[in-house]
Copies of this chain bind each other. A is one copy, B any other.
Amino acid sequence: MIAEKMKNMVANSSAIRAMFEEGNRLAQIYGAENVFDFSLGNPNVAAPESVKNAIVELLNENDPVVLHGYTNSNSGYADVRETVAQSLNERFGTKFAGKNIVMSVGAAGGLNVILKTLLNPGDEVIAFAPYFGEYRSYTNNYDGVLVEISPNTVDFQPKLDEFEQKITPRTKAVIVNTPNNPTGVVYSEETIQKMASVMEAKQREFGTDIYLISDEPYRELVYDGAEVPYLTKYYANTIVGYSYSKSLSLPGERIGYLVIPDEVKDSEDVLAAANVATRILGFVNAPTLQQKVVAKCINEKTDISYYDRNRETLYRGLRECGFDCIKPQGAFYLFVKSPVADEKEFCAAAKKYNLLLVPGSSFACPGYVRLAYCVAYETIVNSLPKFRELAGEYF
């Protein structure tokens, strides 16, 4: 008796989640130290101490009626939105005001709000494979149609020729995610510039508005001094979705924001509708204590060096075993070529060694597997002999 739409969703329930739950099961059998669970992007590095201090200060200094109350606007506390806007302006030379910020229940909440705001049934949303599989669910929630651009497995930058061909008069939005889940690739400034000019030309050609939605939970997680272009500066119709899940290691707390700049087409309507969507989707407002926490910790971030050491160690170790993988500049994922065409078979083989990997099919890129290296360093080190045994089956 559940909804038809949900029957399929339950049947195809996230392979990532299923793997994560399998990891917990195996840990109970073999002991957590003998299970190498690379399945979920659940940060292993603790939130900075400043988060804890901020919470205690907020509890001591604020009237609980205000601290835990509904915010005056569904878009969040005015002072928090202003703090976020000013911080972005300082970092990226943008000119946002508090009103351009809509606090959200993580990036997932923010993406749902903006897709609810924009999509009419049948509207097309373009995503570049490999992409986070939830984009398809979020688009389906509002009866949109996800249009895939096939993966460029040379360097995992988006295929802009195919992109240009697949934009239609029904294209309402394009989602990009850089640094990327699952590849860790940062889209280059050149890529962004070309993408922007393709979209501008298509807007003119069709007389439509095409919104670029930049999903940025991994913005702060970059290595080797990589720069992540701020997309609102390259294309006027850009909306940013941000999350503190990774930058402050607060994924369970569900806190992030949308940026809807004045330059966006019909900006005031989009802002008003995002406010209403926040309310009617049941978020009402982003969790209030955590809104205040992120404002207090606006210049803090998690210990990136920990992830960087994991990245170097796992990347080098896998390469030495014979696996093929590009070295990512951001996020906390490695996207590894499966030594056999059917990567699900490879995942099953890995599981014999208690190595839990997610098939690339979950990201519309079969033939690859994703490893989330946001795990304990010891997990990486201890997993490498297992990967060597696994490699022995193929090379």
- Identical chains bound together, number: 2
Question: Contacts of A10 on B, CB cut-off 8 Å?
Answer: 269, 272-273, 276
Is the Cβ of B72 less than 8 Å from the Cβ of A21? Answer: yes
- Complexed CA–CA distance, A73 and B68 (Å): 25
Question: Contacts of A52 on B, CB cut-off 8 Å?
Answer: 59, 64
Q: Mark A27-59, 1 if CB is under 8 A from B, else 0.
A: 000000000000010111111000110011001
Give the segment of A94-102, A117-125, A150-158, A177-185 that binds chain B: A117-125
Interface class of chain A by DSSP: helix
- Complexed CA–CA distance, A116 and B69 (Å): 27
Give the segment of A218-226, A245-253, A385-393 that binds chain B: A245-253
Across the interface, name the chain B residue whose C-beta is closest to A65: B46
Among A43, A120, A284, A290: residue with most chain B CB under 10 A: A284
Which single member of B43, B105, B282 contacts A69 (CB below 8 Å)?
B43
Question: Contacts of A89 on B, CB cut-off 8 Å?
Answer: none
Which single member of B17, B110, B252 contacts A68 (CB below 8 Å)?
B252
Which single member of B72, B113, B280 contacts A138 (CB below 8 Å)?
B280
Nearest CB of B to A140, in Å: 8
Can you list 6 contacts pairing A with B, beta carbon distance less than 8 Å? A21-B72, A43-B65, A46-B64, A51-B64, A68-B250, A112-B282
8 tightest A-B CB contacts, nearest first: A252-B288, A112-B282, A108-B282, A137-B280, A109-B282, A6-B273, A46-B64, A2-B273
